[in-house]
Amino acid sequence: MINIVLDTNIIISAALSPKGNPAKILELVTNDEEVQIYYNAPIIAEYQDVLSREHLKLSIKTQHRIINTIKKAGILIDPTTSKIPLPDESDRIFYDTAKAVNAYLITGNLKHYPEESYIIPPAKFIEIFVNQ
- CATH number, domain of 18, equals 3.40.50.1010
H/E stretch holding 122: helix 122-125
How many domains would you assign to the chain? 1
* Per-residue model confidence as pLDDT tens for the chain (132 residues): 999 999 999 999 999 999 999 999 999 999 878 999 999 999 999 999 999 999 999 999 999 999 999 999 999 999 999 999 999 999 999 999 999 999 999 999 999 999 999 999 999 999 988 765
Range of the domain at 9: 2-130
User: Can you give the length of the chain in residues?
Assistant: 132
pTM of the model: 0.94
Given this model, what pLDDT does residue 38 score?
A: 98
**Which residues, other chains included, contact 34 with Cβ-Cβ below 8 Å and sequence gap of 6+?**
1, 2
Burial of 125 (0-12, 13-18, 19+ CB in 10 A): buried
